[in-house]
Amino acid sequence: MTTIFDNEPRTEAATRGDAFGRWIGSHPVWALVIAVAVIFALWLVLAPWPAGLEQVFGKKLIFINALFNGITLGGLYFLVATGFTLIFGLMRNVNLAHGSLYLFGGYMGYEATQWTGSWLFSYVIAFLSCAVVGIAMQFFIFRRMEGQDLRQTLVTLGLSIVFSDLMVWVWGGNAIQIDTPDYLDGPVVTPIVVAVRSSGETVFLYYPAVRLVIFAAAVVIGVGMWLALNRTRVGVMIRAGVDDRDMLSVLGYRVQLLFVAVFAFGAGLAGMAGIVGGTFQSLSLGEDSHFLLASLVVVIVGGMGSIPGAAIGALIIGLSEQIGTVYFQNYSTVLSFLIMVIVLALRPQGLLGRR
Amino acid sequence: MSSIAERLAAAGTGNAIELRGVSRLFGALRALTDITLSVRPGERRAVLGSNGAGKTTLLNCVTGDFPPTSGTVRFFGEDVTVLPPHERIRRGLRRTYQISLLFQRLTVRDNVYLACRGVSRSRFSLVRTRASDPIMQSVAELVALVHLEDVADRLVGELAHGQQRQLEIALALAGAPRFILFDEPAAGLSPNERRDLVAILTALPAHIGYIIIEHDMDVALRVVESVTMMHNGRIFKEGAPAEIEADPEVQELYLGGGHG
Amino acid sequence: MALAETTRQAPLGVGEAQRGGEFGRWVSRHAAILLLGVFMVIFPAIANDFFLRQIAGWTMILGMIALSLMFLGGYGGMVSLAQMTVAGVAGYMIAVLGVSSLPKVSFFWPWWVAAPLAIAIAVAFGTLAGALSARTEGIYTIMITLALATSFFYLTLQNWPIFNGFNGFTTIPAPHFFGVHWGDPVPLYYMILFFAALSYAAVLYVSRSPFGLALQGVRDNPRRMEAIGYNVTAHRIAAYAFAAFIAAIGGILLVWQNNQISPFSVDVGVVINLLIIAVVGGLGHPIGPFIGAFIYVILRTFALDALVAVGLDGRRFQTLIGLGFLIIVLFSPDGVVGLWRRWASRVGASDGRSGR
């Protein structure tokens, strides 16, 4: 047992590196297409646009803003969806109350900032309060109906209805915004040129600092999770459980501990994402289903149970929503929908999912 | 790989089942390695080997439950390697499963009915089948063949294990089979039921061939004319039942050391 | 999928074999549903417009749409949350293609062009939803169909050229033909009753047809279905098309009864309430969705006053619905139909004992 767990991650990481090289070797055309696309995208972002391009697509500033908003929104979606996908992967539990946990975390964080005045501290409160709710759900309900995935899903549905109604009761139906802390308020200058004035003066992009910081935090959390799943004993147990359900029986009674821990962690992340959402946008009635939908689409596109899949899915959906809102106002949701349809048609298990 | 001459040869042999270089991988695990096997129409063949020898995987590659990783599968000369299972079944292939795969919440009669309907037309019909329809006659005959008349209107989930095994066989005999794959049909049957099974197998019309995987040598060697031995995903011996029984290597590996 | 109670029915063919003497037994076996039918036919004589429209009309329309969910879930093992959306597509299409208060958006085609086209478009949408989720199994179906349903809600909310955004459509009249104004309470009631009874009977009949039996085979064991000659994916998609047809008719009736449709007719709450209706009623029998719809409509209409009467906040109606749903899922997964069956079999068993 111990030897299996200690050896596996290293060998797998090694083969993964080779796999990348082998993939390029076996798909030279695709590798070229992707490389060209990446270079073109970089040029779009970094270089000032020629006049012809601006005539067709509008100002570069608008595009770059949509791009940045999309990427940072992707970071937020990743925070929400990653807990969802982890819970699904390990327990086959489609937690339809995940959006409610997001909203609950946001409200608790709002209360915490009101009481303590500390934005950072509110994350602790949101994480803990949602984790407690998650633990209660796993311990009192799902433990009793293991393996009955449809029934579990229906229970989460019932809970989400009750939660959302109770939250309207407590916090009302109006939108609430969490204030950005002073030290992150306002824009920062980025090294990206959005235009060159006729005077020859270059104009750089100003972008809200808080969004960049939060995106960086999402990346750090994502990388941290990936490392935790690949380099720690518990992480390897979780991954083994996601890949092979029979593995879990080897763990005996500890499997319950693992389930509770993952549920708490996933719920806690959703709660922290609630504060991010409350700072970026606002918290209100209906945001729970908005973020539940986002998690569903992200996870369907990225692949169930895969953390890197959630990251890619979140990025794609965040970008498609923001770019859609700017360029196809009446059909922006259709864009994410189309992406989902195409992925489902070509790869029903999602981009990085396993059968 | 395969020259035109080779392909012509394969099509011309008129074998019921023809496997060429079939391999199947599960991740890094090689379940089948380079299997080449041909079975004539009407031939009855046993595939023997210890657990994990790749026998059931072999059947799954023939039916398409799992496609082979490489190699070709031909059914009566036609290349069926990439066809979905239901297309192969409609061409006259049938199979039973080692662990009964039945419709637990339907009656015995409905289970057999579905099997008969599956290889006939109007599978999508919204009109109920009348009692006078010829298909109902075949359903009744199949139910009688496996001695399940008394429980014909019970739900399959309520049946005893042995009865479920019998039903498993009835499903494979529906329609006009040309070739059947039996995966351990005798497992879990009582001695009486085993006798019935042998009677059913020997009474099959001569043009229907089959491959049978069976641990019970008394059953297996009595109902076949040839035997293929498998070990670690490869074929290592083929011959008549008497030859195989007498082979010292086989005796050492399987028959002597008990099976399981 | 322990939700769908086993559907126990007479074996194939019986009834057709010995028709003459069977009629009396058939009547007594179906006494409850026949009585209900008679009651529904004479209901307009004893009820006022409020009960016809707000209680009976809503029950039958929501029951029909939930019936399409029951057909997929109970017989096919596919719990689709897209059925309300299919109904919504049909409802929106009748408003876009037919008559509404928006001459700039609607086409003002006559109902006999608009209604069949609306149904066709909705069936196409429902079949597409099926094609997308049919290749995946079990729990994925819920996720994919929920994502489809929510996407459609946001589309209607954001899109002005076709769906008229937030406002939706109002003043959509029910048709007028054979000299009858079908929007009047009593004719509308009978039209809804006709289609509800028809779809109930159709689902019951089809459940014993080759197609319906094969669908139940797919539910119990898709792999074996492949191994006896069925194209499982095609069967699933066909089931979605059949279910979409029922939901689409329900959607058009919904609009004719309501005279309006907006994004909030297809929002996530409505989509989920429809699942609640089907599950609470029971996925084991086609009567379940109608029972669920009746309970839901009664609660929706009277719970507010009842909650206030016992000193609670009337606005907590959704909490009540949610808790009721949780209780059913936790303690009687096969819904009210399952409760009733268990009660009936217990009574039957004790009768048998005392008779001996």
Mutate to test the interface with B, among C75, C209, C221, C228 (most CBs of B within 10 A): C228
**What pLDDT, on the 0 to 100 scale, is given for residue A18?**
64
**What pLDDT, on the 0 to 100 scale, is given for residue C3?**
44
- Looking at the predicted structure, is the pLDDT value of residue A212 above 50? yes
CA distance to partner chain C, nearest, from residue A331 (Å): 6
- Classify burial at A288, counting beta carbons within 10 Å of its beta carbon; exposed 0-12, middle 13-18, buried 19 or more: buried
End-to-end CA distance of chain B: 38
Residues in C closer than 8 angstroms to B84, CB to CB, are: 226, 231
What does pLDDT average to over chain B?
A: 87
Pair (B83, B134) in one structural domain: no
pLDDT tens for each residue of C192-250: 999 999 999 999 999 999 999 999 999 999 999 999 999 999 999 999 999 999 999 99
**What pLDDT, on the 0 to 100 scale, is given for residue C351?**
60
**What pLDDT, on the 0 to 100 scale, is given for residue C157?**
87
Give the relative orientation of helices C317-331 and C268-281 as an angle to the nearest 10 degrees.
Answer: 40
- Looking at the predicted structure, is the pLDDT value of residue C20 above 70? no
Nearest to B254 by CA among B233, B229, B235: B229
- Classify burial at A274, counting beta carbons within 10 Å of its beta carbon; exposed 0-12, middle 13-18, buried 19 or more: buried
Report CB contact under 8 Å: B102, C220.
Answer: yes
- C9 at the B interface (CB within 8 A)? no
Q: What angle do CA A147, A151, A154 make, to 5 degrees?
A: 140
Residues in B closer than 8 angstroms to C229, CB to CB, are: 86, 89-90, 115, 118-119, 123, 175
Which residues make Cβ contacts (< 8 Å) with residue B146, sequence separation at least 6?
B166, B167, B169, B170, B196, B200
Q: How far apart, in whole angstroms, are the C-alpha atoms of residue A157 and residue C300?
A: 19
**What pLDDT, on the 0 to 100 scale, is given for residue A253?**
60
Give the relative orientation of helices A332-346 and C139-158 as an angle to the nearest 10 degrees.
Answer: 150
Pairing of strands B78-79, B209-213: unpaired
Q: Which residue bears the tokens 């080692």?
A: B98
More confident residue, C89 or A30: C89
| DSSP class per residue in A65-133 | HHHHHHHHHHHHHHHHHHHHHHHHHHH----TTHHHHHHHHHHHHHHHHHHH--HHHHHHHHHHHHHHH
Q: How far apart, in whole angstroms, are the C-alpha atoms of residue C254 and residue C69?
A: 16
Pair (B155, B187) in one structural domain: no
Domain range annotation of chain A: 47-346
Report CB contact under 8 Å: B86, C231.
Answer: yes
Residues C58 and C200: beta-carbon distance below 8 Å: no
Report CB contact under 8 Å: C158, A332.
Answer: yes
What does pLDDT average to over chain A?
A: 82
Residues C167 and C95: beta-carbon distance below 8 Å: no
Nearest to B182 by CA among B42, B39, B59: B59
A89 falls in which pLDDT band (50, 70, 90)? Answer: confident
H or E stretch covering B213 = strand B209-213
DSSP E strands in chain A: the ranges are: 187-196, 202-208
pLDDT tens for each residue of A111-124: 999 888 888 889 99
CA distance to partner chain C, nearest, from residue A257 (Å): 23
CA distance to partner chain B, nearest, from residue C204 (Å): 11
Q: Which residue bears the tokens 């100002």?
A: A59
Report CB contact under 8 Å: B86, C216.
Answer: no
- A34 at the C interface (CB within 8 A)? no
Q: Would you state the structure tokens that stand for residue A76, as one six-digit string? A: 């937020």
DSSP E strands in chain C: the ranges are: 176-177, 180-181
The amino acid at residue A4 is I
Size of interface A-C (CB pairs under 8 A): 123
Which residues make Cβ contacts (< 8 Å) with residue A3, sequence separation at least 6?
none
User: What's the CATH number where B72 sits?
Assistant: 3.40.50.300
Pair (B13, B84) in one structural domain: yes
Tally of domains within chain B: 2
Name residues 89-128 of chain C within 8 A of A (Cβ): none
A264 falls in which pLDDT band (50, 70, 90)? Answer: very high
pLDDT tens for each residue of B195-208: 988 998 998 999 99
A17 falls in which pLDDT band (50, 70, 90)? Answer: low
Q: Would you state the structure tokens that stand for residue B91, as one six-digit string? A: 């061409």
For residue B62, what is the nearest residue in chain C, using CA coordinates? C227
Pair (B192, B69) in one structural domain: yes
Q: How far apart, in whole angstroms, are the C-alpha atoms of residue A126 and residue A83?
A: 14
pLDDT tens for each residue of B77-94: 899 999 999 999 999 999
Q: What angle do CA C116, C120, C124 make, to 5 degrees?
A: 170
More confident residue, A178 or A59: A178
- C-alpha of C43 from chain center: 21
B142 falls in which pLDDT band (50, 70, 90)? Answer: very high
Pair (B206, B141) in one structural domain: no
Residues A310 and A85: beta-carbon distance below 8 Å: yes
A13 falls in which pLDDT band (50, 70, 90)? Answer: very low
For residue A346, what is the nearest residue in chain C, using CA coordinates? C132
Report CB contact under 8 Å: C12, B115.
Answer: no
Q: Which residue bears the tokens 């809200």?
A: A208
Residues in B closer than 8 angstroms to C17, CB to CB, are: 131
Residues B89 and B173: beta-carbon distance below 8 Å: no
- Looking at the predicted structure, is the pLDDT value of residue B113 above 50? yes
Q: Which residue bears the tokens 């099976």?
A: B259
Pair (B79, B204) in one structural domain: yes
Report CB contact under 8 Å: B126, C213.
Answer: no
- Looking at the predicted structure, is the pLDDT value of residue C13 above 70? no
Q: How far apart, in whole angstroms, are the C-alpha atoms of residue A225 and residue A262?
A: 12
DSSP E strands in B15-158: the ranges are: 17-26, 29-39, 44-48, 70-75, 78-79, 93-95
H or E stretch covering B212 = strand B209-213
Task: Please report all neighbours of A, defined by 3+ CB atom pairs within 8 A.
Answer: C
**What pLDDT, on the 0 to 100 scale, is given for residue C7?**
43
DSSP-derived 3-state class of residue B231: strand
Residues in C closer than 8 angstroms to B125, CB to CB, are: 209-211
CA distance to partner chain C, nearest, from residue B207 (Å): 20
Pairing of strands A187-196, A202-208: antiparallel
Pair (B244, B139) in one structural domain: no
- B124 at the C interface (CB within 8 A)? yes
Q: How far apart, in whole angstroms, are the C-alpha atoms of residue B183 and residue B215?
A: 10
CA distance to partner chain C, nearest, from residue B38 (Å): 22
- Looking at the predicted structure, is the pLDDT value of residue A252 above 70? no
B3 falls in which pLDDT band (50, 70, 90)? Answer: low
Residues A154 and C279: beta-carbon distance below 8 Å: yes
Q: How far apart, in whole angstroms, are the C-alpha atoms of residue C174 and residue C168?
A: 17
pLDDT tens for each residue of A268-324: 999 999 998 988 888 888 888 889 888 888 998 998 878 889 999 999 999 998 888
What CA–CA distances, in Å, run from A12 to A9, A15, A230?
5, 5, 9
- Mean pLDDT across the stretch C259-271? 89
Q: Which DSSP state fits C262?
A: -
Residues in C closer than 8 angstroms to A331, CB to CB, are: 155, 158-159
pLDDT tens for each residue of C34-58: 888 888 888 888 888 888 888 999 9
Pair (B69, B193) in one structural domain: yes
**What pLDDT, on the 0 to 100 scale, is given for residue B4?**
60
| DSSP class per residue in B112-143 | HHHHHHHTSS-TT--SPPPTTSHHHHHHHHHH
Domain range annotation of chain C: 43-272
- C-alpha of B103 from chain center: 19
- C134 at the A interface (CB within 8 A)? no
Report CB contact under 8 Å: A94, C333.
Answer: no
**ipTM, interface predicted TM-score of the complex:** 0.87
Pair (B61, B134) in one structural domain: no
Residues in A closer than 8 angstroms to C158, CB to CB, are: 329-333
Q: How far apart, in whole angstroms, are the C-alpha atoms of residue C263 and residue C157?
A: 6
- B85 at the C interface (CB within 8 A)? yes
Q: A47-346 maps to which CATH number?
A: 1.10.3470
**What pLDDT, on the 0 to 100 scale, is given for residue B116?**
94
Pair (B87, B123) in one structural domain: no
- Looking at the predicted structure, is the pLDDT value of residue C9 above 50? no
Nearest to C151 by CA among C267, C30, C45, C316: C267
**What pLDDT, on the 0 to 100 scale, is given for residue B255?**
56
- Classify burial at A182, counting beta carbons within 10 Å of its beta carbon; exposed 0-12, middle 13-18, buried 19 or more: exposed
Q: How far apart, in whole angstroms, are the C-alpha atoms of residue A24 and residue A31?
A: 6
Q: How far apart, in whole angstroms, are the C-alpha atoms of residue A118 and residue C169?
A: 47
Q: Any bridge partners for residue B213, and if so which? A: B47, B183
Sheet arrangement for strand B179-183: B93-95, B179-183, B209-213, B44-48, B226-231, B234-239
- Looking at the predicted structure, is the pLDDT value of residue A2 above 70? no
Pair (B241, B231) in one structural domain: yes
- Looking at the predicted structure, is the pLDDT value of residue C313 above 80? no
A247 falls in which pLDDT band (50, 70, 90)? Answer: low
DSSP-derived 3-state class of residue B157: helix
pLDDT tens for each residue of B37-70: 999 999 999 998 888 888 999 999 999 988 899 9
Mutate to test the interface with B, among C224, C236, C246 (most CBs of B within 10 A): C224
- Classify burial at A139, counting beta carbons within 10 Å of its beta carbon; exposed 0-12, middle 13-18, buried 19 or more: middle
**What pLDDT, on the 0 to 100 scale, is given for residue C46?**
86
Q: Which residues span the domain enclosing B9?
A: 1-92+177-260
- Looking at the predicted structure, is the pLDDT value of residue B260 above 60? no
- A336 at the C interface (CB within 8 A)? yes
For B123, which of C214, C216, C221 is closest by C-beta distance?
Answer: C214
**What pLDDT, on the 0 to 100 scale, is given for residue A29?**
81
